[in-house]
Amino acid sequence: MMRDKLSKREDRALLRALRAVTLTQFPNPDRKDCPETAVLQSIAMKRISMLDPVHEHVVNCSPCFTELTEMRRTLQQRTVLLWVLGTTGTAIAISAVWITYFGSHPVDSPIRPKTAQTEQHGGAPAPTTPPPLPKYEIALLDLRYYSATRAVEPSVSSSNVKPIEIPRGLLALTVQLPVGSDAGSYEVEIRKSNLPPIRTVKGQATIESGITKLLVNVDTGSIQTGEYEFAWRQADFNWRHHPILIR
């Protein structure tokens, strides 16, 4: 029976074998028949079956394969970063939440008298189990090739600009900002036109290999599916925005 996905080992072996050839031997400067960035993102996150014909195009198009390789590298780097954060600062945050919650919400249970009795006789209190860590899904929002003027000016309608899809949930979101964007602190909002923002977060942007990457954690799980505006700016600068589709 034919499988629709490769194992991790087979996936790595295939990429190593194809990378050297695909990166140079299949130029496509006009990006003819190239899939959209959202499709490449789905391939990078293994959401598209290996039987899908879009894979045939990617391995025969150097620009698409280069973009896909960069997406996979970004996702791998973000996974390592989240692991490091989860083993350091997250422990402090969990302790603060744990103490705050149980300090203001006393719980009556058969364990409390037993614990008090143990402490009274000099014994150590019973160990407690911390709540599970929230699981963030790695996601990518690629705005590199969208004109800043077209996306920023209020007078220009964005009705003809196709929205970029992002999933619902707890997202560790990497935003690849338009070419020429500066590094530094950014504000981010998800909103409907002419309405107060639904989500507001802040993040730090860095420049890696000529790409300005903004890393933010944002919760889209409780946002209804549909089209919204993704807006961003540095302090004291005008807002820039681009349509997104949350689903």
Q: Let me know whether 157 and 241 are in one domain.
A: yes
- Please give the tally of structural domains in the chain: 2
Question: In this structure, is residue 190 part of a structural domain?
Answer: yes
Kindly report, residue by residue over 46-89, the tens digit of the pLDDT. 888 878 888 888 888 888 888 888 888 888 777 666 655 555 55
Per the domain annotation, does 104 fall within a domain? no
Q: What is the pTM of this model?
A: 0.48
One-letter identity of residue 164? I
Q: In angstroms, how far is CA 100 from the centroid of its own chain? A: 29
Of 82, 113, 145, which residue is a domain's last? 82
Q: What share of the chain is helix, strand, coil (3-state, %, to 5)?
A: 35, 25, 40
Decide if 48 is inside a domain.
yes
Assess whether 150 and 241 both reside in one domain: yes
Residue 124 lies in a domain: no
Beta-bridge mates of residue 174: 140, 215
* Three-point CA angle 209, 214, 219, nearest 5°: 145
Q: Which of 82, 107, 124 finishes a domain?
A: 82
151 and 72 share one domain:
no
Residues 192, 177, 71, 19, Cα dihedral to 10°: 140
Query: 207 in helix, strand or coil?
Result: strand
Domain assignment present for 145? yes
Residue at 97 is within a domain: no
The strand pairing partners of 205, in sequence order, are: 184, 214
Q: Which domain does 143 fall in, by range?
A: 137-246
Residue 122 lies in a domain: no
Indicate whether 172 belongs to any domain: yes
CATH number (domain holding residue 228): 2.60.40
Q: pLDDT digit string (tens) for 187-236? A: 999 999 888 999 999 999 999 999 999 999 999 999 999 999 999 999 88
Name residue, tokens 């719980």.
Answer: 107
Burial of 206 from C-beta contacts in 10 A (0-12 / 13-18 / 19+): exposed
The one-letter code for the residue type at 115 is T
